[in-house]
Amino acid sequence: MINSKEVLADFQFIANRIAKFSIETKDIENKGKKAQFTFDFDYNILQLEEEEDRYIGCIEFVSSVRAKIKKSNLFKLDLSMEGIFVGNHKNITIDKFKEMLELNGVATLSQICRAYILSVSSLSGINPAIKLPMINVISLREKKINNQQKT
């Protein structure tokens, strides 16, 4: 066995919370009609600080799911989850920590959101339950950077 202290990553997940959640469902006639889904994702760095012995960052991951049958809304769901991460300031720079926050932090929170939405949608009577698609976090980050540069 290898002692965990020998293999700990320089980037650690500390905590998460649901900052905002809403779900609206409608009872519409859908005899055999298939719903059309749209999924939208975003993230925001809420905090990025250097303390004496570590970096600390808070990132928000936002998921939005919509389902329509023809022009009628079947349901809409919005979730904002925040996560706290820390980094070892001895082994990584603040820029590297920010990159890890955007990549590793978003990947971590997206999977927690995926499980949360699957569970809540199932308990809300949505059948089949909503399964968020896996996302390409690198592509999401690049698109976010490009959008910020345009504004």
Query: Which CATH number goes with the domain that contains 71?
Result: 3.10.420.10
Kindly give the interhelix angle for 137-150 and 106-123, rounded to the nearest 10 degrees. 110
Instruction: Count structural domains, the chain.
Output: 1
Amino acid identity of 95? D
For 70-85, b/e burial (b = at least 16 CB within 10 A) is: eeeebbbbebbbbbbb
Query: Cβ atoms within 10 A of the Cβ of 68, count?
Result: 15
Residue 150 maps to a domain: no
> Residue 81 in 3-state DSSP?
strand
pTM for this one? 0.90
Residue 149 maps to a domain: no
Q: Domain residues for 19?
A: 8-26+36-143
The answer to whether 46 touches 80, Cβ cutoff 8 Å, is no
Tokens found for residue 73? 């809304």
Residue 55 predicted with pLDDT over 90: yes
Residue 3 maps to a domain: no
Residue 131 maps to a domain: yes
Residue 14 maps to a domain: yes
Percentage of the chain lying above the pLDDT 70 cut: 97
Residue 122 maps to a domain: yes
Summarize pLDDT for 134-149 with one digit per residue, the tens: 999 999 999 999 988 8
Residue 108 maps to a domain: yes
Residue 85 maps to a domain: yes
